[in-house]
Structure 1
Amino acid sequence: MSIDAIYSTEAIATGAGRAGHVISRDGYLDTDLKIQKEMGGPGDGLNPETLFAAGYAACYHSALQGVARQKKVDLGDSSVGARVSIGRLDNGGFGLAVTLEVVIPALPHAEAQELADAAHQVCPYSNATRGNIDVDVVVTDD
């Protein structure tokens, strides 16, 4: 599958990978990375999973807002949280899993779930991960 790109960006990782440094081409992202304590590092810093969670949450929330606009629904004070987990796969490698927590207090649960499911079909991150990693979309009231 190919896309007709409307935007591209770049980032470069240097140093020791998960304990290295990342910088975006435009310089807005320029930070050191730390290996988390659970993975044998010092913790107390950004890591690839945190960056992925932030990107996925923002992208999915944007998709949710787009779906709501199309359906002429006011989301009110909505939010999306993304929990990204990393762990060992059966083949000895590592894999990711994501839980997206969608909160739309202004809507009944069933309507919020319908919008969340529709957003999961159009979100670029959801489309990129579909069939590759487990992604659970959970609609909560808080």
Structure 2
Amino acid sequence: MSKIQKVLLTGKTRTTSSDARVISGDHEGNINIHLSAPGNSAAPSYEFGTVAPHPTAEQLFAGAWSACYIAAVGLTAKEMKLSLPASTAVEIEVDLGLSGAAYLLQARMTLRVPGLDHEAATALAHGADAICPYSKATRGNIDVTLKVVTD
């Protein structure tokens, strides 16, 4: 897999989950999307708020991926019999860059689970990564790092 030599732009999102809703937004406040989990009829339909006139594809991809990944975190936590802190969040940064003349993507994912045991949080992060369809689609195709923060 080729590595990015020059980053052209970065799309960043921070996604939190509350009840059946997922809220994904970028760090600049340009995107604030309320999403629902598949098959959850109690959740509101897709709702777009405070969307910049032209969010980048990298912001949208990071937002969709982080929404999918945080749902996978919830499923994995249930399987592991872990109680997630209310402030659980997923931050994803997707870079568009160049390697020679080739355009590439790379990503950095951070799972924030304050107060959770670091070893359990790491197992949770990797378990969610194993079942998340976006993680599966990117695995081996782009450079991705996964970080866990418990403080």
If you compute each CA radius of gyration, which structure gives the higher value, 1 or 2? Answer: 1
Report the Cα offset of residue 51 of structure 1: 0.4
Residue correspondence of structure 1 range 56-71 to structure 2 within 5 A:
56-71=65-80
User: Which of the numbers 59, 82, 85 marks the counterpart of 2:92?
Assistant: 82
Report the Cα offset of residue 80 of structure 1: 0.4
Q: Distance in 1 between matches of 2:46 and 2:80?
A: 37
Instruction: Point out which structure has higher relative CO (alpha carbons under 8 A, 6+ apart).
Output: 2
Q: Distance in 1 between matches of 2:130 and 2:91?
A: 17
Greater share of residues in helix: 1
**Normalised TM-score (structure 1):** 0.67
Match of residue 22 from structure 1: none
Q: Distance in 1 between matches of 2:85 and 2:149?
A: 15
RMSD (Å) for aligned C-alpha atoms: 2.0
8 Å Cα contact 2:118/2:150 also seen in 1: yes
Greater share of residues in strand: 2
Residue correspondence of structure 1 range 35-46 to structure 2 within 5 A:
46=55
Match of residue 59 from structure 2: 50
Aligned residues: 104
Runs of 4+ aligned structure 1 residues displaced above 3 Å come to 26-32
One-letter amino acid of the structure 2 residue matched with residue 56 of structure 1: W
The answer as to 2:103 corresponding to 1:94 is yes
Residue correspondence of structure 1 range 1-142 to structure 2 within 5 A:
32-33=53-54, 46-77=55-86, 78-90=88-100, 92-142=101-151
Q: Distance in 1 between matches of 2:84 and 2:73?
A: 9
Q: Distance in 2 between matches of 1:27 and 1:62?
A: 16
One-letter amino acid of the structure 2 residue matched with residue 53 of structure 1: A
Between the aligned residues of both structures, percent identity stands at 35
One-letter amino acid of the structure 2 residue matched with residue 82 of structure 1: I
1:26-79 superposed Cα distances (whole Å, 9 cap, x missing partner): 99669742xxxxxxxxxxxx1100101111111111101100011211111211
